[in-house]
Chains A and B, each alone.
Chain A
Amino acid sequence: MKKLLKLNKLKDHVFDGMSIMVGGFMVVGTPEFVIDELVKTGVKDLTIICNDAGLPGHGVAKLISNGQVKTLIASHIGLNPEAGTLMSSGEMECILVPQGTLAERIRSGGAGLGGFLTPTGIGTIVEDGKKIIETNGKDYILELPLRANLAILEGSIVDEYGNVLYTKTTRNFNPVMATATDVVIVGARKIVKRIDPDSVMTPHIFVDYVIKEEL
């Protein structure tokens, strides 16, 4: 399998100050073993884009605890009290984005769009500093695309070409993030010869590397 990457070679694909999208929702759909390796590399000043701040001791929370995260872009950090403390003290920049806006900004980044208009956040501090555009008599916020250097995703099943299937609620942000970064690394729970073409959720053309989880 051409795209297979050894876990200890993750270090060749990371650098200080980079931006990383991490799939998962409250760590469901986050490849914990790849995050552990990212902690080991010690790479720092990261901008992490993830739905949330993980759970204490799990997911991106490990990177936050280890002081590797300079900026977190997320929709919700409430289940990780440490993230709230670091945000309040100014030790970590935290940019909170409505969840649907976060998903759509990533989609725009991956789909070659210049942004999109959403009513979400009108009349709130979310609109501060952003362009408001009226169409058909209604106000919308112009939200801009989001991209990153690297995506770290969890594939439930990956085939030898690199096609990916995500099971149940592990899917969440994983497929859209696969479209919006320069490099995509999928942590695979299971590798099979071929996924039924009708069941592929991320086509292999998006996937650069696959790291097999040792179960």
Chain B
Amino acid sequence: MDKQQTRNFIASRVAKEFKNNDLVNLGIGLPTLVANFLPKDVSINLQSENGLIGLGPKPDEVNFDKDITNAGGQPVTLLDGGMYFDSTLSFSIIRGGHVDVTVLGSLQVDEAGSLANWIIPGKMVPGMGGAMDLVTGAKKVIIAMTHTNRGKPKILKVCTLPLTAKNQVNMIVTEMGVMSIKDDGIHLVEYNPEYTLDEIKNATEANLIVNNPIKMNVEV
């Protein structure tokens, strides 16, 4: 798979995790792609923390409106039934546990379900934006990311970068598999048959608990 296929593969698998009427917040980047792969029989509500629910696709020239943007500042549209609100209500929704699922990318995730995705000291200082509130408040936190960064594992025993939150991640989806984080560690619950279990373990610094994982079923 090339880079785009890998991203689509991960996004497509994440899209199977939602139930009807779930309120979902998708992070910028790879997680945004998840919206392209929603199953036809599942209808969800997408929230954007800058202040809307009912996030629709990118506008064309006709329905472009500079006053409607997502949390990345990109132009979007509002679906029928959607609405706008201010930042305090937006974060009451987020911190108050009203978001069913949040999907974010990450630089590192560890065995305790901690994640680091907002700063690389001395190199990259984007800031946490709404990420710390989202992973703390959402009922389910899914990390959608490539399994490694230039061959280096991102799923670690203990995160080395400054944390975004402690013990909040429930699931990791990569091009190699689907991992569930429980009290006893990271379980590989599904794997991509393009890789052997040894290859997946070798690309993971954390201890992977492997107990009859099933094959990932993803059409891209």
Question: Which residues of A approach B to under 8 Å, CB–CB?
Answer: 25-28, 51-52, 55, 74-79, 84, 87-88, 94, 96, 98-101, 103-104, 107, 118-126, 156, 166-176, 201
Contacts and interface: CB of A to CB of B under 8 A. Distances in A.
A156 B65 CA distance: 14
B129 interface: yes
B152 interface: no
Contacts of B87: 25, 51, 99, 103, 172-173, 176
A123 B165 contact: yes
B106 to A, nearest CB: 14
B73 A77 contact: no
Contacts of B122: 88
A172 to B, nearest CB: 5
B127 A28 contact: no
A26 B162 contact: no
B136 A119 contact: yes
Interface of B: 48-52, 65-69, 71-73, 78, 84-88, 90-91, 94-95, 114, 119, 122, 124-133, 136-137, 162-167
A171 to B, nearest CB: 5
A99 B135 CA distance: 12
B133 A28 contact: no
B69 A26 contact: yes
Contacts of B137: 100, 119-120
| Chain A contact residues, majority secondary structure | mixed
**Most B CB atoms within 10 A — which of A75, A167, A169?**
A169
B166 A123 contact: yes
Contacts of B91: 99-100, 103-104
Contacts of B165: 120-124
Given A26-B69, A120-B133, 18 more contacts: A25-B69, A28-B50, A52-B127, A55-B73, A75-B128, A76-B127, A77-B126, A78-B127, A84-B125, A84-B126, A98-B132, A99-B128, A120-B132, A122-B136, A124-B165, A125-B163, A169-B67, A169-B68
Nearest to B85: A171
6 contacts: A25-B73, A52-B129, A100-B91, A174-B86, A176-B86, A176-B88
Given A26-B72, A123-B114, A169-B51, A77 B125 contact: yes
B128 A76 contact: yes
Contacts of A176: 86-88
A76 B124 CA distance: 12
Closest 8 CB pairs of A and B: A78-B126, A26-B73, A123-B166, A100-B91, A100-B133, A76-B127, A76-B129, A168-B67
Nearest to A107: B88
B95 A173 contact: no
A181 B44 CA distance: 38
A168 B68 contact: yes
Given A26-B69, A27-B73, A176-B86, A99 B125 contact: no
A10 B60 CA distance: 38
Contacts of B163: 123-125
B128 A98 contact: yes
A163 B127 CA distance: 34
Nearest to B87: A103
Contacts of B67: 28, 156, 167-170
B126 A169 contact: no
Contacts of A25: 50-51, 69, 71, 73, 87
A99 B130 contact: yes
Nearest to A176: B88
B26 to A, nearest CB: 16
A87 B132 CA distance: 21
Contact of A98 (B51, B119, B130): B130
Contacts of A55: 73
Contacts of A75: 127-130
A26 B70 CA distance: 9
A171 B132 contact: no
A28 B126 contact: no
Contacts of B126: 76-78, 84
